[in-house]
């Protein structure tokens, strides 16, 4: 697989620097003071992060050099837009930025043809979402984005869904000691579950009973079709924590709607 390569884009991966949290914080403070050298050091010190992220796209058989370069663009954006006043680690903020940049690249190069107007709307929404996340460290709802862009929520939802990159249910999303976790392992068996309650008029009230983190997880999981692993990456918590919070939130909503 390509991530075993020693050299990518002329970079010897075995010689990449590895920064600890204190070093990153020190560099971020210097960047805030206008130190361009610190900016370069922080970018170089996080290239291993880019390398680790492009591993998850190995099943796509894309050119490793191309993905690495695109991932580095996401890293640069993360460095330039990170708010040091927020109580969040740089890597927690950078990971979704890098993944988002790679996904945009893959969407632009997909064989699936989407109308220009739908694609433009989706990209405007993605840009607005990134700006909001950078300013307040939380993901906006689809209603907020629709209001900001002055479009109907239904049209925005369709546009966002249209540019979601399809993946195989047998694509590995995590590997530990040879034991891999695949997409299919994260799909719940809903054969015995009555989903009609999701359409109930009381759904909005039930969502209102959840805390902000629970509401974010439910929104990302069931309205944006994100996997637990993707949500965990965005929130900076483990996949097991996402699973527990999701189950607790669903139980709370069902109890409210009984």
Closest by CA position to 244, among listed 221, 173, 133: 221
Q: What is the pLDDT averaged over residues 89-107?
A: 84
- End-to-end alpha carbon distance in the chain: 50
Cβ neighbours for 108, distance < 8 A, ≥ 6 positions apart: none
At what angle are helices 116-136 and 142-149 packed, to 10 degrees?
110
Res. 1 pLDDT band, cuts 50 70 90: very low
| Whole-number pLDDT of residue 187 | 54
Q: Dump pLDDT digits (tens) for 200-219.
A: 455 666 777 888 888 888 88
Q: Dump pLDDT digits (tens) for 39-78.
A: 999 998 888 888 888 888 776 677 888 888 899 999 999 8
CA distance 26 to 12: 25
For the whole prediction, is pTM greater than 0.85?
A: no
């Amino acid at each position: 697989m390509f991530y075993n390569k020693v050299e990518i884009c002329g970079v010897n991966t075995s010689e990449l620097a590895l920064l600890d949290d204190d070093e990153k914080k020190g560099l971020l403070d210097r960047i805030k003071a206008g130190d361009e050298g610190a900016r370069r050091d922080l970018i170089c010190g996080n290239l291993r992060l880019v390398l680790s992220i492009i591993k998850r796209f190995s099943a796509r058989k894309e050119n490793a050099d191309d993905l690495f370069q695109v991932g580095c663009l996401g890293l640069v954006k993360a460095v330039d837009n990170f708010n040091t006043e927020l109580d969040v680690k740089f890597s927690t903020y950078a990971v979704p930025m890098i993944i988002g940049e790679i996904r945009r690249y893959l969407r632009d190069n997909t064989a699936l043809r989407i109308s220009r107007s739908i694609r433009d709307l989706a990209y405007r929404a993605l840009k607005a979402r990134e700006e909001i996340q950078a300013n307040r460290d939380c993901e906006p709802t689809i209603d907020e984005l629709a209001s900001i862009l002055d479009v109907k929520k239904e049209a925005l939802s369709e546009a966002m869904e249209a540019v979601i990159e399809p993946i195989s249910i047998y694509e590995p999303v995590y590997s530990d000691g040879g034991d891999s976790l695949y997409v299919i392992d994260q799909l719940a068996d809903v054969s015995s579950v009555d989903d009609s309650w999701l359409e109930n008029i009381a759904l909005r009230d039930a969502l209102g009973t959840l805390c902000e983190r629970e509401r974010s997880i439910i929104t990302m999981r069931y309205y944006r079709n994100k996997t637990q692993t993707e949500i965990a990456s965005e929130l900076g918590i483990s996949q097991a924590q996402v699973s527990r919070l999701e189950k607790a939130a669903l139980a709370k909503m069902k109890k409210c709607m009984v």
